[in-house]
Structure 1
Amino acid sequence: MSDYKEIIRQPETMNWFKAAMGIKITRDCLLEFVKEINQACYDDIRKEIKHQHGVPESIVCNQCVTPNVLPCDPANICCRRKRGKCAFHEIHMPRNCPNKLCNEICKQIVIQHRFRWKQNSLSFQGPTWINTDASKWCSEPWHIFKCFVSKDGYKDANQAECTDFNGIMNIIYNCEYFKTYLQDDLTKQENVCTKARDVGREVRHAPAMSMNSQDTDKAIDTLEALLQSLTHVNHQVTAKTAVDKLKQKSKRG
């Protein structure tokens, strides 16, 4: 036990802890912002579907599960075939939504995904369909945002509060709906989101839970830049408070 106490007292361990706390502060700040944008994104998707297809926003559907709204296509990562059969569509086959709604929500998710291959095409590895439950798109719109996180570790993260920093960053970066809420240009290969996501990975995968002071300072600076890039007026005060907390975590603050 004495060895562990010595490790905790080491400056490199404290540096790692500062960066880890910085990630927590940033994630907590982004949580309410992302939840609000989730609802706004869903509302705009419904408005677009009403505009294009005349489906009233009051109409909801809970009858379609995800396999119903996706074509059975080997290009879909869900459709892994075993002995010539698709396990994903073994029980529920593709069909048209009885309310003429869920197939259109599915297409809108594709349109919003930064890494779609073809607009309005479902046969590609963009949205993470394996994470989501289409029967809950209307009642729990977070299932829409689950299409923008990675396939590993998020299948049961059915609320924003259950989603970690990396998942939140993937949603903000992969969903193009967020591009109007950040000052930085997210089409650049390096931007505030990709840099912050890299910080999360570096801290999470630090083998000895240690960092040198330069890497910690760089991590805190990156998280500050992300929060300072937010343009949503409802969250600017919260973001400023979080930035002040990050500065306190930095040895220079």
Structure 2
Amino acid sequence: MAHQLQLEKEKYRQWVKAGLGLGYLKDGLVPFCNDIADQQHKDILQNIRSTKSLPSTVTCGSCQVETLKPDHKPVPGNAGKKVCRFGQAKCSCCCKGKIACPNNICGAIYDFIVQHHSSSPPAPNWKNTDAQQWSTDPWSICKCFINAPGYEQKQSASETDCTGLLHLMINNQYFHSHIGCDVTKANNFFLKVRQYRNNIFHSSNMELEESEANSHIDDMIAVLQDGKELLQQPNAQIAVKKLQDLKNKDFIITTESFEEILREIKKEMAKVLKSTESAATKEEYDDLKKKLIDLEAKMSDEKEGKLEIEKELKGLKKTMKELEFQMSRETLEKAELKKKLGVLETLVSEQKEEMAKIKTETSFSQSQADNEQTKLEWQKEMIASYCKNLLKVPAMPFTTTRSEMINFQ
């Protein structure tokens, strides 16, 4: 039983890991999608202004999709009915009472969107967009290629989830020229990953086998390593590294990561719940509601675990501050001691110099004293010799006879 519980816990961890991978995939795709969206918008406007000889500054903010008259004309169809030349069902070109763009620009943008939608027949999602922004906002055009509801308020790629970005890249033919993979073929990486997102977020038991989670992550990596342009995108390759780390058995999924993916899944389930409330059977509705309740319980468990971790972290931070204070005080004491030691060394050095000076002066004085002593002793010897020999000679000269002189000689 314990083994089974551990196994289920690991499956849940793998499910969250795959969901976290979708977040990394989105981070890697956002800059690429923003760049291509900007290029597309620039090319559309330049082509329209050039073809229609419009001023380079012309824009429009007054047209509504519901009332806009496209530039293209319908063609005869079966039973004498007119149909859209591009094959769009219920196209505005076949409806009466539509209004042409007063600035001669929005009808042409409408045509571009229909012509570049890759589905057959083309099926732009007009509910996601606002035609008043087409001439000034690149993302308002991109949202027409997201064939799923709930994106009308999204203002950029960064506000759009992974599913929306993949819809855009798969459905917009302008993007195809910047992707090496043939996204029109069945079972390509882009289509597979888009389906993984639905499988993960709509999972009935919120569990995945490790091999399945790793397979999903490998396909996400393949999308980001598409050889045409994504492989050269720095953000895409940073996301690849994060995805590769997810497959590492030692990789730690933080509490914040758990909460992040659970919040996304909760929002997705709530959206599905709202959209199916009236259409689904009571049994389906109750089942989905139960999943949402279970998810909230898991989030609560994760939050409790996070609070315990935060408590431990708080204690560690307190200990660290105490250690930092102690280290700071010891550092000050060491600095003061070092200062005193420096003063002492200076004093010792000065003392040595003074001693050397005194020694030199003493040596010189001793030499002078020795000389004086020698002179004094020599004087004493001279006086003694004088007293011994010279004081015996009479001070007055004496008289000597000639005969005495002769005898003396």
- TM-score, normalised to structure 1, is 0.81
Partner of 1:49: 48
- The within-5 A match list for 1:125-144 is 126-144=123-141
Match of 1:192 among 185, 189, 192: 189
Deviations 1:44-78 (A, max 9, x none): 1112213332233421110111123257x994389
Task: Pick one of 99, 111, 115 that aligns with 1:111.
Answer: 115
Give ranges in structure 2 of 5+ residues lacking alignment: 71-82, 252-409
Report the counterpart of residue 76 of structure 1 in structure 2: 90
CA contact (8 A) 1:224 1:246 kept: yes
Amino acid at match of 1:76: K
Alignment gaps of 5+ in structure 1: 1-5, 79-85, 118-124
Counterpart CA distance in 1 for 2:201 and 2:135 is 34
1:149-202 CA distances to partner (integer Å, 9 max, x unpaired)?
124222222332321111110001100111122221122122121011011111
Contact 1:196 1:222 in 2 (8 A): yes
RMSD of the TM alignment (CA)? 2.7
Larger radius of gyration: 2
What is the rounded CA distance, in whole Å, between the counterparts of 1:218 and 1:69 in structure 2? Answer: 46
SS at match of 2:234: helix
The whole-number CA distance in structure 1 between the counterparts of 2:201 and 2:160 is 15
Measure the CA separation in 2 of the matches of 1:200 and 1:77.
Answer: 31
The match for 2:66 is 67
Q: Which has the higher helix share?
A: 2
Q: In structure 1, give the amino acid aligned to 2:108.
A: E
Counterpart CA distance in 2 for 1:196 and 1:178 is 17
Aligned length: 229
1:39 aligned to 2:38? yes
Structure 1 segments of 4+ aligned residues over 4 angstroms from their partners: 6-9
2:213 is aligned to 216
2:225 and 2:231 in contact (8 A); partners too: no
1:204-226 per-position Cα deviation (integer Å, ceiling 9, x unaligned): 11112110011101101100000
Report SS of the residue matched to 2:177.
Answer: helix
Identify the structure with bigger relative contact order (alpha carbons < 8 Å, sequence gap 6+). 1
Q: Match of 2:213, as an amino acid?
A: T
- CA drift of 1:11 comes to 0.6
The question of whether the paired residues in 1 share the 8 Å contact of 2:45 and 2:135 is answered with: no
TM-score (norm 2): 0.52
Q: Is the 8 A contact 2:27 2:236 kept in 1?
A: no
Give aligned-pair identity as a percent: 29
